[in-house]
Structure 1
């Protein structure tokens, strides 16, 4: 048996720094901050030693830019004492230009953050003490050097030299993130010592269309001498379902296994998430176990369906899992920290739970970040979240050369081979918005011939190298050239996916018009909002800067033109009577919630059944933040949900009502049903005066919601007697429980006059429930327990009047009879009229 040991106890120092920061050159080696994982990033080390201020606070980001223009060295010593035949050093992730020296011998140079390396050091390592050093040269300066020898290329966000560097592009700054060009060891360095060892295992599965048989290929990567491989498969209950052995001694061995009547993996809204356990062993000639490996895998059939549609031009673009068409409501995912080694397993679990609890089906890993740690995909497998995986290219016209192409090919091979083991991963996309950048610069995206000789040479990566690697190492998974991509242009709304940014960016359309801005699959759209007050107070330490338009507040908003655009959407829609910080936070969050709810509501309507999958997915930009900031995120850096998170959760429930008020004061009402059976429900809707709460019309109907689609309930109902009434609708099951509720308010909300006598009250029922009621109709009730540690299942709710009592359930923490609440709602402090 061999051993695998994490090399830790790293020490760091500055080797070279720009003029004016010479004091750091002579700094002695300092110990790296201990995080239990053997990783080390320079910014976190500098912060922990008090060398630099926290760049997340105030405007400290500006004070630490010299770090990215400096060279840094990490060293350590370790003891080796073994008589086994082989010793490998395994580097899981080096950021980015790294030179590795073992015992004064250079063993590795790397210039691609997204590659891992296994180096045979058997002839260099020695019994006793060994020294290991890694020099990280300035990514910024190396990128500028490469750029100076070629061209300054078009890009959106960050310094253009990033296009020449295989590094996380968001480190260069984005319109939601800081410029923090870090370097270091972001995945552990391991020492593997063995006579024979399983270095990796790949699991490829192919579920037949009948769903009653799965064909499995277990790819065993081995090193050293062995005589036999044994593969054992147990189901989720631990029962043995397959066992096979293969003679041989090759470095890669394929072990075929068939399993009948497999327990299939489903997205969380559609079924369970069983995971099978694979146990692999290497045997010596005398049949002794000399190496073992364990991996979990789920079985599912995943397809992307692009077929002609009924009554509309173009083709569908939807995911089918185990023969079930799935409307993918979800989010885009960026790295949840600028220094992602700072994230813990608990952090990842909290984020994935937020997605699941928010009724989301899919997360798109955006191409300007990182290929996530294994824990991310393990949790998506465990909790039933589909993953759309971009390759790491974002918003630029990347250069082409043979060396870079070779590096990208190896990067892709390693990442595809790693990610094929996760059943949650259902798509690879070549890049984020690179085809759009080409179009914006007048470059054709379909020029034939030698792609490397065109004005868009990176097409060689997206149209040849990446699909070839994907097909070779993960046959059957869908490869998409880019996001967005589909028709003659990236703006074609009838084919492929689109990024719909004509709300906020572009033509800055009214968000009430989302229905006119749909696409077959909307993989990006969004609206900006401030984070919660506690988050702002955590990122700004100067009390005098705690107002909406302060310089420090502006520093923590990287979006171009955010002052004008945010004010435009707030003032266009809401009545603002106070510009203090708390009021402005609430106004921006309510506006974001209304905006994004409109999008999901309108687009889920267009999931109309077989042949009419006119819109098949909506992925909001974005779920998370990488630092404390005002951004498009629906949960801020500290995982605190904004009101939009709850609005999306309501709209994406398995069963829900959708309503839309047309320009002629008629209203359409429909139901959406993501279950796989027809639902028979009571449908009640009321027309109510906004100011008085008087019910002017009420009707109850028995309705049938068809499975896995929307069902039209009322079309073109004329709202009487005036436009200043709202519609309150409910779906009620056979047991009398409300399973769906929705409101349609006259738009824009700024014209509405709510009763000045409105009083919202709270009543604690038990330590996990609080009742909310209002004596008049009220919009956007946001409640927070005074302790700040209680989290509710919903928030930002609407109430129809005294008979509409809403129960909030506690999902984290507990209530006591002494718990006090802060309550905010729209026009709570309205002026006299």
Structure 2
């Protein structure tokens, strides 16, 4: 079988009123019904919104309130068309395949109806053999009816009737912007007499027989053979399987005699395999598997190539787990894996426009932050193939949910027959398509499905029981969880013994309650929680008009409410810092509280490793620009302060301080335990230092502990006397060396101010940031045109500089600094490497894409509410290669 990609054909699209394309002419006048729009160039894959924007039919829906004036788009019918030339290839059957139609479609070839299709996640396949045998070309038309009127975040789950991505219809991190279009690849499959059909690959590892001690990797292959001619033409075939090691060297070639229409079952044993591990636990070697199908004359009929990882996958209950708990701890190659996870929404509201490069950047950011699992949320989409390929390569385990989610009014999984049939088709397609990815780790029935308030649905629900049966049939190796959270209660609770897999909360819970709640919790798995925070000023300026670039409550601004209604943090920041004078200050304070809140939860959970099996932060990204949200990376690819503190909290070797309040009482003693996390053994030294804002060291204490890979180790108690002065800041800095000997630090900021606890930080004016570019921009090795440079940062002032970070002045690069939002006390220096990767995004982000005429990156460094000091270039002037 040959696959010909049809994305780059000349596609056009035109909008109509409902039913008009089927009627064509007026019944009364007999004249052509011309439609709502003219024919215009179409992006495939993509969506009609971007095509309309390019032709001036709509304003940018991501800016201000513009999306409100775009809601007519979902209520029209849309026709895509292109011309398909007959391929010059020998063929028995030719199939036209749409990998993703969104949502209800009728497909025509030269006005002949090929068939109808409904659903986003199951391929639409049409046989065009006979038509192409008679003609040199075909006009292909795809009629997409208006989007179904499904429910957004607020509604009744029991009334759900589609398998369309529900976040499109309004969620707390998105607006109502319902995608319509061809959202995934279009291909032409050219078959000869026989082709591979469904291929299932599983891998395992075991010790050799008779006590040899030699390890073997086992690859089990089950592949059905589809006969393209009639059943009377059974053929004798040869199936050839070649397995090559991760370096590309052939290891085994095996041949099997099979008949067309049969299923091939084969096993390959690989001595001493290179095993696949999640990020942070080892490497991710991938073996190449090539399946060839040959006829009786040794002519090649079809070839299927796959990249596979070899590993043993198990699950176990947590340490001290209740007897009725599910097995939440993932075990790979006999090693318990502590989950350092994030929840992911679709990368764009109009998901058809997302590029491979956007997936690459997001997965790169996950890996760099020591993340080892991503939960693909059930209110979004089942992602494109490129996403799962990248997870395989980078060691990011995938928790994939089927397309179901809570709705607030009721959260009961739908039992409508129409819905269950669609859900079954989606689940079967997803299971067969994704199970060969070594990164696939957990299947879940959906997001926050509940049989009654605060009680997650279980397998007594017929909807979820059906999904369980499908997983057992098509992918029995993986764990199936009925829903996330999976109970016995939905939300995090102070009641002991009830918090197994829990969700919540999504706000900073205030000082001291935030620390009391999370610091003493006993949940087994924290699969969704977060804290909200504003986007950076750089990003806010891209979608807000100048009149809206000022601190304001969501209650008092329709525009702000439109871009993040649930995530109003103004009162929180005013309580912690005092009045918010400008938007830059508001953003900086808000991002700090988000980072502080999330970091504490991650460290508190990690202190209970493997009684707690991990944390999955809500949320990694956002699909459209929000003023405020619970995301770590904003729509434009800018990382927030919380991303970098999550990165610190997830470090392979980490030291944390257990505290229960940010408020210190003058003249009393502070006591908090110091913990060491994630060491395979050996002695670890942690130096704790208490400093004031002038950098004076007030107290020092050294801790030593023997590391343990399966639990956090308490190294001792930090105990110091708080000075008598009021309204002062105190800093506790933990310093330690990582496994490579590099110095790492973790800083906590406390205050004695009873009102507006962090207000003293706004009065820090004595720091001075001096920046020197130490190297020319040079190739980074991350991407073809990525560039790196080193900068030395020096605080030449008399007070501390908080949250020192880099920003790229322009918009054409994704910027990453190896260390961000760190603190420099007077006289301290630090050298930071900055990497910039040219943007190549899709849809409404294309205006920021890099072009060959763009200049090299320009980097500025800032601290908390402070602009950059003097920048001293290197001897080569620093801006040129």
Q: What does residue 203 of structure 2 align with?
A: 205
State which of 792, 804, 809 in structure 2 corresponds to 1:770: 792
Q: Tell me, yes or no, if the aligned pair for 2:401 and 2:444 is still in contact at 8 Å.
A: yes
Change (3 A) 1:120 1:732: closer
Q: Tell me, yes or no, if the aligned pair for 2:457 and 2:486 is still in contact at 8 Å.
A: no
The separation in 2 between residues aligned to 1:117 and 1:237, in whole angstroms, is 36
Change (3 A) 1:160 1:374: same
Q: Does 1:812 align with 2:868?
A: no
Displacement of 1:99: 1.4
Change (3 A) 1:751 1:16: closer
The separation in 1 between residues aligned to 2:320 and 2:617, in whole angstroms, is 25
Q: State the secondary structure of the residue aligned to 2:467.
A: helix
Displacement of 1:495: 5.6
Change (3 A) 1:28 1:758: closer
Q: Does 1:604 align with 2:619?
A: no
Q: State the secondary structure of the residue aligned to 1:320.
A: strand
Displacement of 1:364: 0.7
The separation in 2 between residues aligned to 1:534 and 1:793, in whole angstroms, is 20
Q: Tell me, yes or no, if the aligned pair for 1:305 and 1:320 is still in contact at 8 Å.
A: yes
Q: What does residue 784 of structure 1 align with?
A: 807
The separation in 2 between residues aligned to 1:222 and 1:345, in whole angstroms, is 31
Displacement of 1:527: 1.4
Change (3 A) 1:313 1:729: farther
State which of 109, 120, 132 in structure 1 corresponds to 2:116: 109
The separation in 2 between residues aligned to 1:828 and 1:18, in whole angstroms, is 58
Change (3 A) 1:819 1:229: closer
Instruction: State the number of aligned residues.
Output: 785
Change (3 A) 1:593 1:121: same
- 1:662-714 Cα offsets, whole Å, 9 max, x none, are 46853323333334x213233211222x3444322223344332234311012
State which of 684, 688, 692 in structure 2 corresponds to 1:685: 688
State which of 627, 647, 650 in structure 1 corresponds to 2:648: 650
Q: Does 1:673 align with 2:680?
A: no
Q: Does 1:745 align with 2:750?
A: yes
Q: State the secondary structure of the residue aligned to 1:713.
A: strand
State which of 167, 171, 175 in structure 1 corresponds to 2:168: 171
Q: What does residue 821 of structure 1 align with?
A: 860
Displacement of 1:371: 0.6
Q: What does residue 4 of structure 1 align with?
A: 4
Q: What does residue 41 of structure 2 align with?
A: 32
State which of 715, 730, 733 in structure 2 corresponds to 1:728: 733
Displacement of 1:605: 1.0
Change (3 A) 1:378 1:632: same
Q: What does residue 565 of structure 2 align with?
A: 559
Change (3 A) 1:244 1:311: closer
State which of 113, 127, 138 in structure 1 corresponds to 2:135: 127
The separation in 1 between residues aligned to 2:857 and 2:490, in whole angstroms, is 60
The separation in 1 between residues aligned to 2:186 and 2:740, in whole angstroms, is 58
Q: Tell me, yes or no, if the aligned pair for 1:17 and 1:66 is still in contact at 8 Å.
A: no
Displacement of 1:31: 3.7
The separation in 2 between residues aligned to 1:730 and 1:49, in whole angstroms, is 56
Q: What does residue 453 of structure 1 align with?
A: none
State which of 370, 374, 380 in structure 2 corresponds to 1:369: 380
Q: What does residue 482 of structure 2 align with?
A: 481
Q: 5 Å matches for 1:248-287?
A: 248=258, 249-250=260-261, 252-287=263-298
The separation in 2 between residues aligned to 1:712 and 1:24, in whole angstroms, is 76
Q: What does residue 432 of structure 1 align with?
A: 447
Q: Tell me, yes or no, if the aligned pair for 1:11 and 1:29 is still in contact at 8 Å.
A: no
Q: Tell me, yes or no, if the aligned pair for 1:14 and 1:25 is still in contact at 8 Å.
A: no
Displacement of 1:230: 0.7
Give the CA RMSD over aligned residues: 3.5
User: Which ranges in structure 1 are unaligned for 5 or more consecutive residues?
Assistant: 144-152, 449-458, 608-612
Change (3 A) 1:252 1:733: closer
Displacement of 1:123: 3.5
Q: What does residue 251 of structure 2 align with?
A: 241
Q: Tell me, yes or no, if the aligned pair for 1:654 and 1:673 is still in contact at 8 Å.
A: yes
Which of 347-356 and 303-312 deviates more?
303-312
Q: Tell me, yes or no, if the aligned pair for 1:659 and 1:742 is still in contact at 8 Å.
A: no
Q: Tell me, yes or no, if the aligned pair for 2:490 and 2:503 is still in contact at 8 Å.
A: no
Q: State the secondary structure of the residue aligned to 2:73.
A: helix
TM-score (normalizing by structure 2) = 0.82
Q: Tell me, yes or no, if the aligned pair for 2:685 and 2:703 is still in contact at 8 Å.
A: yes
The separation in 1 between residues aligned to 2:3 and 2:624, in whole angstroms, is 38
Q: What does residue 389 of structure 1 align with?
A: 400
TM-score (normalizing by structure 1) = 0.86
- 1:301-345 Cα offsets, whole Å, 9 max, x none, are 222221561899967622122111122112110000011121111
Change (3 A) 1:385 1:747: farther
Q: Tell me, yes or no, if the aligned pair for 1:201 and 1:220 is still in contact at 8 Å.
A: yes
Q: Tell me, yes or no, if the aligned pair for 2:153 and 2:169 is still in contact at 8 Å.
A: no
Q: What does residue 147 of structure 1 align with?
A: none
Displacement of 1:252: 3.7
Change (3 A) 1:825 1:260: same
The separation in 2 between residues aligned to 1:111 and 1:756, in whole angstroms, is 60
Q: State the secondary structure of the residue aligned to 1:641.
A: coil
Change (3 A) 1:182 1:702: closer
Q: State the secondary structure of the residue aligned to 2:72.
A: helix
Change (3 A) 1:637 1:752: closer
Displacement of 1:796: 1.8
User: Which ranges in structure 2 are unaligned for 5 or more consecutive residues?
Assistant: 21-25, 27-31, 209-213, 229-234, 662-667, 776-789, 839-854, 869-881
